[in-house]
Structure 1
């Protein structure tokens, strides 16, 4: 989602590998591939029904669901992309992990999860079908399927390019090996296999990626030593404060202000992604009971707050020890190294034989985790929200559960090969990352407006839900096209001539959400709502939420949500 930067075009500039692997490093990578395939084969025996394949049997503990929830987001663009963004923007990049994640994840747990879980939906579009009808479900399902396939292809191509730059692997070899590996273990075990592998990948990512910030901080003399070096290397820029430079667009390297961060990122894009993107919500729906489903995003939020230590910190250390890296345009003209390559450069600097293999495995694990997340979400939405209603409309009869499991496996196979096709399309589209960032403002921001109104306002009508979602999506696409045709439109959308590209994404999402909400409210007030009896289990005020009053305080999700939110506030103060 919001973990994207322009690292793909930059790595195309590399002409040779940055590092080489020894036999111990290669052995670690081979063991990893064998392990994920073994997990997929073993878990295939437990995948018999549709709930098994698409929702892991709804039997996952809060820890498995929570770690898979956060691991599915640690995709290929996360580790490389935001390390580069930290070098480019400084600690401001941490906003995408803190205000751009934590409040939304806690909101999902406490407010929205009961409705998703009680309704027994298989997907977010499935919830829209129950709340607003078939037209809203189909609009959301088709746009989401398109987005996940494109994202899966970008993940594949990103990994292939990173492997080419770091160790000299052929692009075709990387794409096909990673794709076929994900295809095998997802087709065998569905979401169950994907989630268990994501937990393994989560551990590997931390084990491999944490080495760089630890060794780097030792070199620079700790946090204070790093800050001192950054100030010495960049005396005219502030890369080390989280909020104090957001008073005006021109006061920080990101070219954004606090309104864009708080409302565009913190309220719209973040809430839209973490509460309505089925890629991550699917993991939480697999929990064994409602309390586990509510605790899963809270556990995920606790770990999410720590991710900047393995993603943002390497970029900051790079500012201290490797000044002089430039943007991709300057790199192309001068032949200098680009800041988009900061993570592999840091790996070459700090990791020796064995440790290097662990670091590369961490990158591969992140890439495959993101790819598998997109494919499992695609197969579920395709099977239940596109294929099933069309099949019922044409035949007029239901089929047994095994038919849908079979269709889910075929959707996985087809989705992988279509993703491979989109991966090769990315190779010929230098600005693909801009398009990918735009996708989330096209679909996620208005979808959040539709879902949140559906859950919290019983007066929202089926017509209001559909037309609001459509208006929000089309308005976002229109604003994106307007800026492409006339770059001066950016200052109108973001409200400042000093705004930069990141501000455009935040403000476009904000405006599209407001348009979605406004159209939904206006159309709903002019049309007939559903009877309240049909909204039970779907809308606050019409649904009885199970009480947790009988549980000790330390076992209540609301208590742990409060603990995580307090830690979030402390971090904002520390790095102000």
Structure 2
């Protein structure tokens, strides 16, 4: 541990301090123009495509992602990067199917769409679950992971103090500036993340004489640099790659409020579409600037015992002073961009889905005030909860898999709701209940520590990424069956997808490089090339 701590110089700390200073300036500047609820929650619906794309990328990359990607590439291989570069699939679904619907209906939250398509109880069910997972898993988890990382470099700072400092800093500028402050700081954070990670990757590749063969010779087995792995693989078996990853991505990129909020704040449909496609392009970068450095570390830094030490050892042992600070600033950026996004989205959900009701409409200034209070309240909750995660032991890692329980019925409700008139109100609500119940059962009977409590071996051996596909099919069958035996719901205009809606305001007739059709083909080709090269 001392070798890591001693590698941090005054110059590195100065670089990090300068980064914090710029973030503070952005927060103060944006807060002056944040007057209404629309400003706080959706940046006044004024976001351009570049801000959307960069913010999608930055808010998705957390400290646990950065540490996890490099650590996994070091210990188990690059297959886990599929969750990154395959994000383009759900982002294309967002660009061409849901962005047109969301912007036309002018919703503020994704659960609000379920209200318009199904019912208010379906909306509140989904919104409540989203708030819980966003605050307790995403936000508190981000603070906890960030605190652990900072504690690695600065052991004298206790975990609770790190979590408190990160939470207060992100919470205050988010409460003051809202989504616009979040997005603008995300742009800065994305630049720092990409720049720092690229420098680290290039430095490591140079030390291997720019030889991919040297990486392949250093890894422990032939599957280490492959994307398509055997059925029994514990990291990501091939059915999970082809069927589960995109479905899990659907939850994250199409229905998750803290990501989709950027699309909802777009100033136009073309900006939303360009931004989503740019986000998909940028999600290819982590494979090369975050995952491959972990694989290269097997040759340059053999013998690292635990995966969570791989990234800290890499940046402190391989980078000079100043550059270490830049990459550390990128790590801090990853922490901040996730925490601020989760706080802003949770306050949006609480105010719009629960405080405001059909019988009680709230004016814009009151929305802004309530949103500020909610952001600060969630900040305190996440700060208090974050240090307690350390006492949960292995339970916390399994809690991450709970997202695979959330996803299947949501895929069915959103996709069928947008593309088919078949779905009824009862089908929407009870499919959520059914899908989540089945997912919980499969999670429990396939969880080794849980089954050990009953003196039994796991009864369901399939990987959670495969379970997602199975439960999605079961939820679809249930949805269709209930729809056929229950009364149809009147569907309002604009709630269902149409080709005219998707393309009437799109970037047709502009310069060829602005054509979203061409951009989407480039994104698809890039994902297919990665799959082919690393099959």
Q: Deviations over 1:173-199 (max 9, x none)?
A: 211111111111101110010100011
C-alpha deviation, 1:537, in angstroms: 0.7
Matches within 5 A, 1:35-54: 35-54=22-41
Contact residue 442 and residue 460 of structure 2 kept, 8 A:
no
Q: Deviations over 1:407-462 (max 9, x none)?
A: 11011000101101220221211124423322311223322221111111111111
Q: Residues 444-523 of structure 1: matches in 2 within 5 Å?
A: 444-484=407-447, 485-486=450-451, 492-494=460-462, 503=463, 505-523=464-482
Q: Does 1:160 align with 2:123?
A: no
CA deviations over 1:353-395 (Å, ceiling 9, x no partner): 1111111111111011111111111111111012212xx5xxx
Trace 1:312-331 onto structure 2 (pairs within 5 A): 312-325=291-304
Q: Deviations over 1:474-519 (max 9, x none)?
A: 211121122234377756352xxxxxxxx2x202222332232222
> 1:41 and 1:256 mapped to 2: Cα distance?
44
1:365 alignment partner in structure 2: 333
Give the SS at the match of 2:225: coil
- Counterpart in the other structure of 1:540: 497
2:189 aligned to which of 201, 226, 251: 201
For 1:249, the equivalent position in structure 2 comes to 231
TM-score normalised by L of structure 1:
0.87
Q: Distance in 2 between matches of 1:31 and 1:257?
A: 43
Which residue of the partner structure matches residue 347 of structure 2?
A: 379
The alpha carbon displacement at 1:162 in A equals: 0.7
Residues 352 and 385 of structure 1: CA distance in aligned 2, closer, same or farther (over 3 Å): same
2:356 and 2:362 in contact (8 A); partners too = no
The one of 243, 247, 250 equivalent to 1:271 is 250
Pairing 1:8-27 to 2, within 5 Å after superposition: 18-27=5-14
How far apart in 2 are the matches of 1:119 and 1:190? 22
Kindly indicate whether residue 113 of structure 2 is the aligned counterpart of residue 130 of structure 1: no
- Answering whether residue 381 of structure 2 is matched by residue 418 of structure 1, we say yes
Q: Say whether the 8 Å CA contact 1:441–1:512 is kept in structure 2.
A: no
Provide the rounded CA distance (Å) in 2 between the counterparts of 1:172 and 1:408: 26
Q: How many residues align?
A: 526
**Structure 2 counterparts to residues 267-306 of structure 1, below 5 A:** 268-306=247-285
Q: Distance in 1 between matches of 2:442 and 2:22?
A: 46
Distance 2:324 2:240 in 1: 39
Pair 167,339 (structure 1): closer, same or farther in 2 beyond 3 Å: same
In 1, the alpha carbon distance for the partners of 2:215 and 2:434 equals: 46
CA–CA distance in structure 1, aligned partners of residues 516 and 68 of structure 2: 33
Higher mean alpha-carbon deviation, 102-111 vs 295-304, is at: 102-111
> How far apart, in 1, do the equivalents of 2:300 and 2:509 lie?
54
- The alignment partner of 2:160 has SS state of helix
Q: Structure 2 CA distance, aligned partners of 1:255 and 1:284?
A: 31
Give, in whole Å, the separation in 1 of the partners of 2:171 and 2:84.
Answer: 29
TM-score by length of 2: 0.93
Which blocks of at least 5 consecutive residues in structure 1 are unaligned?
1-13, 326-336, 495-502
1:570 CA displacement? 1.6
Contact 2:38/2:364 (<8 A) preserved: no
RMSD: 2.0
Gap regions ≥5 residues in structure 2:
none
Matched, 1:183 2:171: yes
Using a 3 Å threshold, how does the CA distance of structure 1 residues 522 and 225 change in structure 2: closer, same or farther?
Answer: same
19 and 261 in structure 1: CA distance in 2 versus 1, 3 angstrom threshold = farther
Q: How far apart in 2 are the matches of 1:542 and 1:467?
A: 29
Alignment correspondent of 1:238:
223
1:62–1:295 contact (8 Å) kept in structure 2: yes
* Structure 2: distance between partners of 1:386 and 1:206: 38
- Distance in 1, matches of 2:172 and 2:106, equals 28
Q: Give every structure 1 segment of 4 or more consecutive aligned residues whose post-TM-superposition deviation is greater than 6 Å.
A: none
Query: Equivalents in 1 of 2:457, 2:518: separation in Å?
Result: 45
Equivalent residue, structure 2, for 1:408: 371
CA shift, 1:237, in A, is: 4.6
